[in-house]
Amino acid sequence: MAVNCEKIVSDLFAAWTRLNVDEVMTYFTEDAVWDNVPMSPAKGHAAIREMTHGFMKDASAFTAKILKSAHDGNVVFNERVDTIVMKNGKKADIPVAGMFELTDGGKIKVWRDYFDLGTFTKQIS
């Protein structure tokens, strides 16, 4: 392991708070996979960019409160609460369990999140 994987994941979420798709994309390998388990996985930079934009386009704010984090080699696991404030003023707090696989160079090659999609949609509807 050549990098501090937990810091990179933390930095990824800091980038999300700025709602900047280009900045977020710098954390991924070209062939990365982002699997939001209740949804279809996004495979590759273009698909991840599209999914990221889909989350950000209607958001006015995003935060991720990491409750617990652990790593084994280049794999990071975290328990967190993601909070999204929509442009219409509605807010959603979503409990999430996440898993990140990183390269030795510090890029995310797999991001898998487990959450209840209904918890999100009920709060923003």
Per-residue tens of pLDDT for the chain, all 125 residues: 457 999 999 999 999 999 999 999 999 999 999 999 988 999 999 999 999 999 999 999 999 999 999 999 999 999 999 999 999 999 999 999 999 999 999 999 999 999 998 998 999 88
Give the separation between CA 82 and CA 8, rounded to whole angstroms.
17
Q: Where are the domains of the chain?
A: 5-124
Give the separation between CA 61 and CA 101, rounded to whole angstroms.
26
Report the CATH architecture of 5-124.
Roll (3.10)
108-114 and 28-36 strand pairing: parallel
